[in-house]
Structure 1
Amino acid sequence: MLISGGTGFVGSALTKHLKSLGDEVYILTRKERQSQAQGVNYIQWMGSKEPKLPQIDAVVNLAGESINGRWTDEKKKAILNSRLKVTEELLNLVGKMPQKPSVWINASAIGYYGTSETQVFTEQTEEHGSDFLAEVVKAWETKAKGAESLGIRTVLTRFGLILGRDGGVLPQLSLPYRFFAGGTVGSGDQWVSWVHIDDVAELIRDVIENAQYTGSVNVTSPHPVTMREFGQATGDVLHRPHWLPAPSFAFKLLFGEMSMLILKGQQVVPEKAQKLGFHFTYPHIKGALHDLLQ
C-alpha cells in the first residue's frame, strides 16, 4: 500500500489498520523519517526524486494543506494548490511504474455537494455546490481522475465530519461540555454527516479489496444527525448539561468563512457502501461518542 499524507489524522489511523491486517505500508514523506514499526516504511519523496518502491497494489492519496484556520486568500490558494500539485506528482510517479496498482483511492469531501437543510445527498447526486470548498473538491477530483487514463480503478472517497479521539473536530466540539458550558451550535438545524475514524479506515480497506467500488463513495455514517442532536448526544455521553447556546456570529467572528463547516451542513448517506454490504461498526452517534469520549 502506498500512501501520501500518511502521517496525518486519517493517514495514521489507516496505516495502523492496514498494518494490523498484515499489509506492508509505504508512506511518502517530504522529509527523511525513520520507521519505528515493522511493516511501515517512510519513503522520502521530493517530486523530482524517484523513490525506490516495490510493486504497489493500492495507492491512497490523502495529502493536502489542512483546511483548519481562517480562509485568507493565501490560505485558500494553499488548500487548492497543495492538493492539485501532490496529486499531479503522484500520478507522474504511478505512471512510470512498469506494473500499475489495481486501485487509486483519492481523498475528497462531502463538501462537493454544497449545503442544504432539506436535501439528501447520495453518490448519485450529480450537481455540486458553488462555495469555496465545493470548488476545491471538484478540481481535486477532476485531477485525480487522471488515474483512470492509466487503466487504474479510481475511487473518490468523500469524507464527512470525521470523529476521532486525538484529531479532527471532536476534541474542540466536546470541550465546552467538559466545562459544563455546552449547548446548541448555530441554529441547531444544520445537518452533521459524521463518521467514526475506525469506520473510515475499515471502509478504505473494503474499497481496496472490493473491485465493485468505483467513482465517488460517501464515507459517512448511515445515520446523520442535526447539530442539536449531536450536542445533546455529547452532553448525555459526558453526563453534562446541554444548555448554553453558541451563537452563529461568534463562530463567524472566530473562524471567518471556515465557520460554514460547522454552521452549515448537508445530509449525506453512504448509499454505495451500504449496497455493497459494508458493515459500520459505529452507525449511530451515541455509540460512536461513547467509544471516543469515555
Structure 2
Amino acid sequence: MATVVLAGASGFIGRYFQRRFEAEGWAVRTVGRTVGRATGNDAGWDDDGGITRVLDGAELLVNLAGRSVGCRYNARNRAEILSSRVDTTAALGRALEACAAPPRTWINASTGTIYRHAEDRPQAELDGEIGTGFSVGVASSWEAALEAAHTSDTRKIPLRIAIVLGPGGGVMRPFRNLARLGLGGRMGPGTQKFSWIHVEDLFRAVLFLHARTEITGPVNAAAPYAVDNRELMDLVCRSQGVPFGIPAPRWLLEVGAVLIRTETELVLKSRWVEPRKLLDAGFTFNHPALAGALNHIAKGAE
C-alpha cells in the first residue's frame, strides 16, 4: 500500500483529499499544527524529527498548509498568511533532507493569483506574467521556499491552484448565500476573469502529476474554461434557482469587505489561469465547464 503525506489537511481541500486518497487505497499520514487523537495529525510543525519520521518511506507529499486569505490584510494577518506558507514549506524541506527514503514527488500548493491582473489573455506556465502586490509577493516567497529545499531525490512541483469549488466547502457558500439574498449580480465591472477548478479535478491532477515524472516546474491547476464575473454570478444564480441578482458596484464591495472583514481583491482581481502543462500532457477534466460543475455541486455530489 502506497503512503501519501498530507500537510495542512484540516481545511476543505485537505479533508476532501484525505477521503479520496483513502478511497483509492492509499495510507494517509498528516502533518498539522497540533498532534493527537483530536486532530489525527501524525506530526506537528514544531517537530522536524517527527515530520521526518512521517515522511520517511512515503510515496508522495502534498502540502496544502496556509492560513486562509479570507480576512483583512492588516499587519498581523499579512504576517500569518506569509509565515503559514513559507515556514511550513521550509520545515518540510528540512525534514526531507533527513529522510532515508524520501517521497518521489512533493506537490506544494501555490496560487494562480501569482499572475498579473489579466483580462487580455490567459496566463500559462511558460509565458504567464508575474504580478505585483501583497498576494503575489506571498506566492513568490512560497515558491522560493520550495525551490530552496535541497531534495535531490524528490521532484518538486509548485501547484498554482485557481479558486477551488466543491460540495460543502470552498468559496461556494458565500456565493450561494449572495444569490439566495438576491445579491448575485456582477461584482464591480463584471469583466474580471474567474479561473476555478473542481476539487475532484484538483485531486485527480495531483495523482496525474505524481505519475507523470517528466513534468517539472510550476503547474497551473485550473479548469480550461475561465468565465468572467458576470457569467459566474449568472451561473451561480441559475444553479440556486434564482432568476436574477442585483449588481454590486466597486464602492459597495469596498464597504461590504470592511464589514465582513475581507478584501475586495478576492473578487475584483482578474485571474485568467491556463492549465497548459496539464492539457499538453493529456490530462482530461471531469468538470471542464463551470455550469456543469456548479450544477454538480448544487446536487451535493462528489
TM-score class, shorter: over 0.9
Amino acid at match of 2:281: L
> How far does the alpha carbon of each residue in 1:169-226 deviate from its partner, in whole angstroms, 9 at most, with x for none?
1110121222333211111100000111111111111111221221111110000000
- Distance in 1 (CA, whole Å) between partners of 2:187 and 2:176 is 11
1:262 to 2:264 alignment: no
Residues of 2 paired with 1:197 and 1:267: CA distance? 18
One-letter code of the match for 1:265?
S
Q: 1:131/1:24 Cα in 2 relative to 1: closer, same or farther (>3 Å)?
A: same
8 A Cα contact 1:147 1:154, kept in partner: no
The offset of 1:281, in angstroms, is 0.6
Tell me if structure 2 keeps the 8 A contact 1:3–1:26: yes
Query: Take 1:49 and 1:92, find their aligned partners in 2: how far apart are those partners?
Result: 7
Whether 2:292 is the aligned partner of 1:287: answer yes
The alignment status of 1:76 with 2:78, answered yes or no, reads: yes
Deviates more, 1:278-287 or 1:121-130: 121-130
1:164 corresponds in structure 2 to: 166
Q: Hey, what does 1:127 align to over in structure 2?
A: 129
Structure 2 residue aligned with 1:45: 44
Instruction: State the 1:62 CA deviation.
Output: 1.0
* Conserved 8 A contact 1:184-1:242: no
Q: CA deviation at 1:149?
A: 4.4
Counterpart CA distance in 1 for 2:231 and 2:187 is 11
d(CA) in 2 for partners of 1:90 and 1:19? 22
For 2:64, the aligned partner's letter is: L
Q: Distance in 2 between matches of 1:11 and 1:47?
A: 20
Q: How many residues align?
A: 290
Report how far residue 230 of structure 1 moved.
0.7
Aligned: 1:180 with 2:185:
no
Whether the aligned pair in 1 keeps the contact of 2:31 and 2:45 (CA below 8 Å) is no
Gaps (5+ residues) in structure 1? Answer: none
Question: Cα RMSD over matched residues?
Answer: 1.8
TM-score, normalised with respect to structure 1 = 0.93
CA distance in 2, matches of 1:241, 1:166: 23
> Deviation at 1:34?
2.6
- What is the SS of the residue equivalent to 1:31? coil
**2:71 partner amino acid:** G
Q: 1:13 aligns with which of 16, 40, 46?
A: 16
Aligned equivalents of 2:122, 2:128: Cα separation in 1? 12
Q: Deviation digits for residues 109-145 of structure 1, max 9, x if unmatched?
A: 0111021211210011253111111111011101111
| Identical positions, percent | 27
Does structure 2 conserve the Cα–Cα contact (< 8 Å) formed by 1:4 and 1:60?
yes
Q: Deviations over 1:72-121 (max 9, x none)?
A: 11111111112111111111111100122111111000111021211210
Which is further off, 133-142 or 157-166? 157-166
Q: Which amino acid aligns with 2:287?
A: Y
What letter corresponds to residue 291 of structure 1 in structure 2?
H
Structure 2: how far apart are the matches of 1:180 and 1:255?
18
User: Is 1:218 matched with 2:220?
Assistant: yes
- 2:26 paired with 1:27: no
Secondary structure at 1:27 match in 2: strand
Alpha-carbon shift at residue 162 of structure 1 (Å)? 0.8
Match of 1:112 among 102, 111, 114: 114
Does residue 93 of the first structure (1) align with residue 98 of the second (2)?
no
Give the 4+ runs in structure 1 shifted more than 6 A: none
- Deviation track 1:37-78 (CA, whole Å, cap 9, x = no partner) reads xxxx63032433522435111111111111111111111111
- Unpaired segments ≥5 residues, structure 2: none
Tell me the TM-score normalized by structure 2: 0.90
What is the rounded CA distance, in whole Å, between the counterparts of 1:116 and 1:126 in structure 2? 10
Structure 1 residues 153 and 80, CA, compared in 2 at 3 Å: closer, same or farther? same
Native 8 Å contact 2:116 2:129 kept in 1:
no
Shift of 1:284: 0.4
Secondary structure at 1:163's aligned position in 2?
A: strand
Letter in 2 for 1:48: D
Match of 1:278? 283
> Cα gap change, 1:267/1:30 in structure 2, threshold over 3 Å: closer, same or farther?
closer
SS at match of 1:157: strand
SS at match of 1:106: strand
Counterpart-to-counterpart distance in 2, 1:205 and 1:121: 23
- How far apart, in 2, do the equivalents of 1:56 and 1:99 lie? 8
